[in-house]
Structure 1
Amino acid sequence: MAYLKRLLIGSPMETKRLKHEKLPKWKALAVFSSDALSSVAYATEEILLVLMLLGTSVFFYSLPIALAIVGLLVIVTLSYRQIIYAFPSGGGAYVVARDHLSTRTSLVAGAALMIDYVLTVAVSISSAVAALTSAFPTLLTWKVEIAIALVLVLMILNLRGITESATVFAYPTYLFIISVLFLIIVGGWKLFNEGWHGFNYVNHASAEHFFTTGYGVFILLRAFSSGCSAMTGVEAISNGVPSFKPDSSKNAVITMGWMSLLLGTMFLGITILAAGFGVTPLEHKTVISQIGNHVFGNSVLFYIFQMITMLILVLAANTSFAGFPQLVSIIATDGYLPRSLAARGDRLVFSNGIILLSFLAIVLIIVFHGETHSLIPLYAVGVFLSFTIGQYGMIKKIWKEKTKRNVAILSIIITGTTVTGLVTIITVIAKFTQGAWLVIVAIPLMVVLFYKIHAHYEKLAQQLKLDESDRTIKKELVAPKVIIPISGVSKIVAQSVQYAKSISDDITAITIVFTEEEEHKIREKWLKWYPEIELKVIYSPYRTILSPLLDYINEVEKETKGAPVTILMPQFIVKKWWHALLHNQTATILRFFLILKKDIVITTLPYHLKE
């Protein structure tokens, strides 16, 4: 097992190497922006899928919706620049709210971000598989299995370390950026030469009557909230500032600026091409693949573009693998998640956070059958809620400061808070019946869980805290009564008896037999080797071992009236892992049942076999 682990994730790294595990801007863009950049592969399609409820005559409205989203992206980017500078330790909205709002608000932000990160992996991987099956429909029946395999590959790559995974992910990300920009340029040239032959406002002006009713406006807002999925992942850079090379804040801000520029350009370009070519969503063909087919035809370039799109959608999930472990490590350090999530693994990454993220994403993929459109309604609620909380926290921070306030910055952040708050409300209302209610229910449940974990740690600390009375022993130490469960008389038992004699004179061996013949044999052998030690033989007519053993131990515990009882369990350790499958695990199971008993000490004495 150790060999397999080393093969998959590499050799352990010394702690002092942590300072070298920092990312330059060009790698950080690939690691932290792949989610946001890859969303251009499905964000336009999500807008069109909602507008289809009113018919293709309103598809032209995808353009003003896209422009509104790009405007929102600019506002959020400007706001989050301030968060990066103010909180270089990372953590984003969670840390801002913790320091300047309240614990409860920070935990809401933390829960929202955690949910969004898990959904990012599930949505990105499912979208990648959709891109693959658009080009190769015969793989449709295997889409869930392919998605799970891709999550596991990402998990292993990230367990190898941040700089190593960043190098792997950087080149495909830039290849995707180049290919999409090339698609937009070539597609734009075709539209210029052939003329606009898709959806336009002039020919479909009659569609305006849809928006004189409440239903039409509701659909428009719902399309806007679906298109806002293009902005998921924008906050990842603010969560992972410590991963950047010095000056980390400045490098993170520059990277975020490039990410927003690329995202806005690609998203708007894809939406224009979709409208210009008159692309409509189809069941097994994504909008971006149809645009690729319009631009490149059924040539090799089209298939290369599809493979690159699939690859970036897989790597988009890596944004979560960079942000989620960093976030949960901060929450765990604060005592609201298991402390194991705050520990770095062999390769100086938060290994437990990476594994937890992979497990939760796989569960979502299985539950929703790898359907992107089923997962998208759950998306964006968490990220826009965290946007709002983070920016509101920055307003409180700036307002508390004694120094001269920058009116321009404050105005930007107030505008961003207001707009993202409205988008959160719109998203909740528009997607509530489609599944957004799950996120709304999950966030408070997670906050309750955070408080339960924190309460446990506080009680534990209180009970383990030393005081003056602990300097002296309150009562005289008494030698324990030792019970040795045995199944026969052998070298492993001899080792256990020898150890038992070194700690107590009150020793009893106990064995469970099914027949009188078994009892006779074991008594005879025991008297030959250990006549001075009592052997308790219990007959089990129903051939059970654990129940009679536990009953006897319970009786002894009552008889001793609080005196220490030690269960000394002989256990041989096999040389090869698969040999363990050839033996029962009675000692392990018995230890599981006894560990909860207050006055019983469980000691395992291993005997290592040579072969």
Structure 2
Amino acid sequence: MNSIKRWLIGSPLRTKQLTQERLPKWKALAIFSSDALSSVAYATEEILLVLALIGVSALTYSVPIGLCILLLLLVVTLSYRQIVHSFPSGGGAYVVAKEHLNTPSSLVSGAALMIDYVLTVAVSISSGVAALVAAFPSLIHWKVEIAVVLTLILMVLNLRGIRESATVFAYPTYLFIFSVLLVLVVGGFQVLHEGWQGYHTASISSAQSGSTHIGTFAMILLVLRAFASGCSALTGVEAISNGVPSFRSPSTRNAGITMIWMAVILGTMFMGITLLTFAFGIAPMEHQTILSQLTEHVMGRGPIYYLVQIATTLILFLAANTSFAGFPQLTSIIAQDKFLPRSLALRGARLVFSNGIFLLSTMAVLVIVIYQANTHDMIPLYAVGVFLSFTIAQFGMVRAFLKKEIPSTKWTVIVTGIGTLVTGAVLVITVIAKFTEGAWMVTLAIPLLVLLFYAIHRHYSAIAKQLQVDYSVQPLAMHTKVIIPISGISKVVAQSVSYARGISDDVVAISVNSDDKQAALLREKWEKWNPSVPLVILRSPYRTVLWPLMKYIDNIDKKEPGGMITILIPQFIVKRWWHALLHNQTAVVIRTMLLFRKDIVISTIPFHLNK
């Protein structure tokens, strides 16, 4: 088993090697920005899918909506650069809220981010599979299975360590960036040469162009809903602020520079795709993405087209890696504050938070299976958590600036304040516009997760209170009675008796027997072999071993209250796993039944067999 584990994730790393696992900026961009960069593959399409419900003329709103999203990206980037420099330990919105707002706010932002990270994995991989299906339609019936397998592959790669995964993921990320930029440059020259085509009724299916007569209020609501859908382009922007400790020194400076790189590349690709889509009159189609149509229009269905589709599939697959970098880091910080299981705060053999990676993978696979890897159905769940965390983080920073807890300038306060208002407005729009489509589930899940945080914290606090030592009282020696359940006399019993007499003078052997002749024979052999240790034979008319033993222990506990009872279970260990199937598992049953009994110690004395 250990050899399989090493083959999958590699040999263990020493703790002092943690500094060697930190990333240069070009690798960190691939790890922490792949989610944000990959969103250009579906953000424009999500805008157009909503606008198409209004009518052909409404598709022209995609450009002003895109410009609004671009402006929002600028504001959020500037705000989060402040968080990067002010909180070098990482944690993003959770840590900002904890330090400068209050515990409930920090837990709400933590819950929102955790949900968003899970959805990022599900949406990114499902979207990558959609790009693959667009190029190879015969795979459509296997899209759920492909998405699940890709999630598990990503899990294994991340368990190998952050530096190794960054090396693997860097090249596909840059392949995607350069291939999309190539399409945009060539497409730009085509627009200059051919002129703008725009949207025409003939280019839109009749099903999409039929809804042209709607009320003004409904039209405004749909435009706002399109804006909210397009804001999925901003998901993942916060990941760098959560992972600052993963950057090489000086970590805050390198993280800040990487965030600027990400914003420039993201803004260029998103706005370029939106403009060219409008220029060529491209509209949503079933089983073919907007980026696929744009690439085919610009480059034809040749080698470059398939290169872009493969690069898109890879970046969307790797975009999920942003969550694998951010989710374990975030849950480790929350776990250190005792609001999540402590196991999430521990690093594994490869110096990554392995338990966090397992938890994220499990939740993402569940979402993919439930939603059948349908990206459009999952998008309404997507932006609520991220914009809630955006708003809380920026509000916390504004409050810290105004209280002089963090150095700031007038422009810093203004920009962060505007960011708070805008992301808060986007949050409200997203919840209202997408509430019936599934946003209600995230709105309900966040408070439920916060309640779970508090339940875990109360549990840890209660345990800490019960285990607290009174240093003024010295520990006293405690009387221990040792009970050895036996079925006969053997080497494993002899070993157990020898050990028991070494830890206590009060040792008794117990045998449960339903046959008087066998019981008499056992007592005769015991008296000849080891008369110094009492043997108690319990009658069992119904041939069960467990209940007579439990009743005997209860009687001892009543007669000698305040002492400890040690149940010493003799057990031989077979050499091969299948040998265990040939023997009864009475020892396992006894341990299970006694595990939750007060003032009882259960111990096993193993005797290893050679054959």
Give the TM interval when normalised to the shorter protein.
Answer: over 0.9
**Which moved further from structure 2: 295-304 or 322-331?**
295-304
State the partner residue of 1:167: 167
Q: Provide the C-alpha distance between the structure 2 equivalents of 1:315 and 1:304, rounded to a whole number of angstroms.
A: 16
Q: Provide the C-alpha distance between the structure 1 equivalents of 2:600 and 2:139, rounded to a whole number of angstroms.
A: 57
Q: Provide the C-alpha distance between the structure 1 equivalents of 2:605 and 2:594, rounded to a whole number of angstroms.
A: 16
Which residue type is aligned with residue 174 of structure 2? Y
Which residue type is aligned with residue 319 of structure 1? T
Q: Provide the C-alpha distance between the structure 1 equivalents of 2:288 and 2:109, rounded to a whole number of angstroms.
A: 36
State the partner residue of 2:490: 490
**Which moved further from structure 2: 352-361 or 272-281?**
272-281
**Of 431, 447, 450, the match for 1:447:** 450
* SS of equivalent residue, structure 2 residue 473: helix
Q: Provide the C-alpha distance between the structure 1 equivalents of 2:517 and 2:128, rounded to a whole number of angstroms.
A: 66
Which residue type is aligned with residue 167 of structure 1? T
Q: Provide the C-alpha distance between the structure 2 equivalents of 1:239 and 1:71, rounded to a whole number of angstroms.
A: 23
State the partner residue of 1:573: 573
Q: Provide the C-alpha distance between the structure 1 equivalents of 2:419 and 2:305, rounded to a whole number of angstroms.
A: 39
- Post-superposition shift, 1:229? 0.8
- Post-superposition shift, 1:101? 0.7
* SS of equivalent residue, structure 1 residue 280: coil
Q: Provide the C-alpha distance between the structure 1 equivalents of 2:294 and 2:486, rounded to a whole number of angstroms.
A: 73
Deviation string, structure 1 residues 354-404 (Cα, Å, up to 9, x no partner): 111111111212222222122111101011011111111111111111798
Q: Provide the C-alpha distance between the structure 1 equivalents of 2:537 and 2:409, rounded to a whole number of angstroms.
A: 82
Which residue type is aligned with residue 55 of structure 1? G
**Of 208, 219, 222, the match for 1:219:** 222
* SS of equivalent residue, structure 2 residue 602: strand
- Post-superposition shift, 1:244? 0.8
Q: Provide the C-alpha distance between the structure 2 equivalents of 1:137 and 1:578, rounded to a whole number of angstroms.
A: 46
Asked if the contact 1:519/1:537 (under 8 Å) is kept, the reply is no
**What pairs up with 1:116-135 in 2 under 5 angstroms?**
116-135=116-135
Which residue type is aligned with residue 593 of structure 2? F
Which residue type is aligned with residue 264 of structure 1? G
Which residue type is aligned with residue 389 of structure 1? I
- Post-superposition shift, 1:9? 1.2
State the partner residue of 1:432: 435
State the partner residue of 1:533: 534
**What pairs up with 1:464-483 in 2 under 5 angstroms?**
464-473=467-476, 477-478=478-479, 480-483=480-483
Q: Provide the C-alpha distance between the structure 1 equivalents of 2:18 and 2:341, rounded to a whole number of angstroms.
A: 23
* SS of equivalent residue, structure 1 residue 53: coil
**Of 404, 414, 418, the match for 1:415:** 418
- Post-superposition shift, 1:69? 0.7
State the partner residue of 1:23: 23
State the partner residue of 1:35: 35
- Post-superposition shift, 1:428? 0.7
Shift in alpha-carbon separation, 1:159–1:405, aligned structure 2, 3 A: closer
**What pairs up with 1:382-401 in 2 under 5 angstroms?**
382-401=385-404
- Post-superposition shift, 1:218? 0.9
Asked if the contact 1:508/1:536 (under 8 Å) is kept, the reply is no
Q: Provide the C-alpha distance between the structure 2 equivalents of 1:151 and 1:567, rounded to a whole number of angstroms.
A: 45
Q: Provide the C-alpha distance between the structure 2 equivalents of 1:133 and 1:403, rounded to a whole number of angstroms.
A: 49
**Which moved further from structure 2: 432-441 or 51-60?**
51-60
Q: Provide the C-alpha distance between the structure 2 equivalents of 1:344 and 1:276, rounded to a whole number of angstroms.
A: 50
Deviation string, structure 1 residues 17-50 (Cα, Å, up to 9, x no partner): 1122211110000000000000111111211222
* SS of equivalent residue, structure 1 residue 418: helix
* Structure 2 residues not aligned, in runs of 5+: none
State the partner residue of 1:93: 93
State the partner residue of 1:318: 321
Shift in alpha-carbon separation, 1:424–1:403, aligned structure 2, 3 A: closer
Q: Provide the C-alpha distance between the structure 2 equivalents of 1:584 and 1:131, rounded to a whole number of angstroms.
A: 54
Q: CA RMSD for the aligned pairs? A: 2.7
Which residue type is aligned with residue 150 of structure 1? L
* Structure 1 residues not aligned, in runs of 5+: none
Asked if the contact 1:60/1:200 (under 8 Å) is kept, the reply is no
Q: Provide the C-alpha distance between the structure 2 equivalents of 1:284 and 1:429, rounded to a whole number of angstroms.
A: 28
Q: Provide the C-alpha distance between the structure 2 equivalents of 1:38 and 1:486, rounded to a whole number of angstroms.
A: 65
Q: Provide the C-alpha distance between the structure 2 equivalents of 1:356 and 1:307, rounded to a whole number of angstroms.
A: 28
Which residue type is aligned with residue 227 of structure 2? F
Which residue type is aligned with residue 447 of structure 2? P
2:10 matched to 1:10?
yes
- Post-superposition shift, 1:217? 0.9
Residue correspondences, number = 605
Asked if the contact 2:401/2:407 (under 8 Å) is kept, the reply is no
**Which moved further from structure 2: 353-362 or 489-498?**
489-498
**Which moved further from structure 2: 83-92 or 381-390?**
83-92
Q: Provide the C-alpha distance between the structure 2 equivalents of 1:364 and 1:336, rounded to a whole number of angstroms.
A: 24
State the partner residue of 2:180: 180
**Which moved further from structure 2: 359-368 or 577-586?**
577-586
Q: Provide the C-alpha distance between the structure 1 equivalents of 2:393 and 2:11, rounded to a whole number of angstroms.
A: 38
Which residue type is aligned with residue 381 of structure 1? V
State the partner residue of 1:274: 277
Asked if the contact 1:88/1:241 (under 8 Å) is kept, the reply is yes
State the partner residue of 2:409: 406
* SS of equivalent residue, structure 1 residue 471: coil
**What pairs up with 1:187-586 in 2 under 5 angstroms?**
187-199=187-199, 213-401=216-404, 405-473=408-476, 477-478=478-479, 480-511=480-511, 529-530=529-530, 532-539=533-540, 541=542, 546-547=546-547, 549-577=549-577, 580=580, 583-586=583-586
Deviation string, structure 1 residues 343-362 (Cα, Å, up to 9, x no partner): 21111111211111111111
Shift in alpha-carbon separation, 1:467–1:174, aligned structure 2, 3 A: same
Q: Provide the C-alpha distance between the structure 1 equivalents of 2:519 and 2:286, rounded to a whole number of angstroms.
A: 71
Asked if the contact 1:573/1:606 (under 8 Å) is kept, the reply is yes
Which residue type is aligned with residue 276 of structure 2? L
Task: Provide TM-score, normalisation by structure 2.
Answer: 0.92
State the partner residue of 1:46: 46
Identical counterparts, % of pairs: 60
- Post-superposition shift, 1:210? 6.0
Shift in alpha-carbon separation, 1:404–1:136, aligned structure 2, 3 A: closer
Q: Provide the C-alpha distance between the structure 2 equivalents of 1:522 and 1:182, rounded to a whole number of angstroms.
A: 87
- Post-superposition shift, 1:198? 4.1
Asked if the contact 1:51/1:220 (under 8 Å) is kept, the reply is yes
Q: Provide the C-alpha distance between the structure 1 equivalents of 2:584 and 2:307, rounded to a whole number of angstroms.
A: 54
Asked if the contact 1:57/1:207 (under 8 Å) is kept, the reply is no
* SS of equivalent residue, structure 2 residue 53: helix
Shift in alpha-carbon separation, 1:36–1:403, aligned structure 2, 3 A: closer
**Which moved further from structure 2: 278-287 or 405-414?**
278-287
- Post-superposition shift, 1:513? 5.8
Deviation string, structure 1 residues 509-546 (Cα, Å, up to 9, x no partner): 445567778767766765664555314345364x6554
Q: Provide the C-alpha distance between the structure 2 equivalents of 1:17 and 1:188, rounded to a whole number of angstroms.
A: 47
* SS of equivalent residue, structure 2 residue 607: strand
Deviation string, structure 1 residues 476-509 (Cα, Å, up to 9, x no partner): 522x332223345432222212222223344444
- Post-superposition shift, 1:456? 2.1
Shift in alpha-carbon separation, 1:424–1:490, aligned structure 2, 3 A: same
Q: Provide the C-alpha distance between the structure 2 equivalents of 1:403 and 1:528, rounded to a whole number of angstroms.
A: 82
Shift in alpha-carbon separation, 1:285–1:493, aligned structure 2, 3 A: farther
State the partner residue of 2:137: 137
- Post-superposition shift, 1:579? 5.0
Q: Provide the C-alpha distance between the structure 2 equivalents of 1:219 and 1:294, rounded to a whole number of angstroms.
A: 28
Shift in alpha-carbon separation, 1:268–1:211, aligned structure 2, 3 A: farther
Deviation string, structure 1 residues 424-457 (Cα, Å, up to 9, x no partner): 0111111111111111111111111212222222
Shift in alpha-carbon separation, 1:573–1:127, aligned structure 2, 3 A: farther
Which residue type is aligned with residue 564 of structure 1? M
Which residue type is aligned with residue 23 of structure 1? L
Shift in alpha-carbon separation, 1:246–1:578, aligned structure 2, 3 A: farther
- Post-superposition shift, 1:300? 2.8
- Post-superposition shift, 1:262? 0.7
Q: Provide the C-alpha distance between the structure 2 equivalents of 1:403 and 1:431, rounded to a whole number of angstroms.
A: 36
**Which moved further from structure 2: 420-429 or 296-305?**
296-305
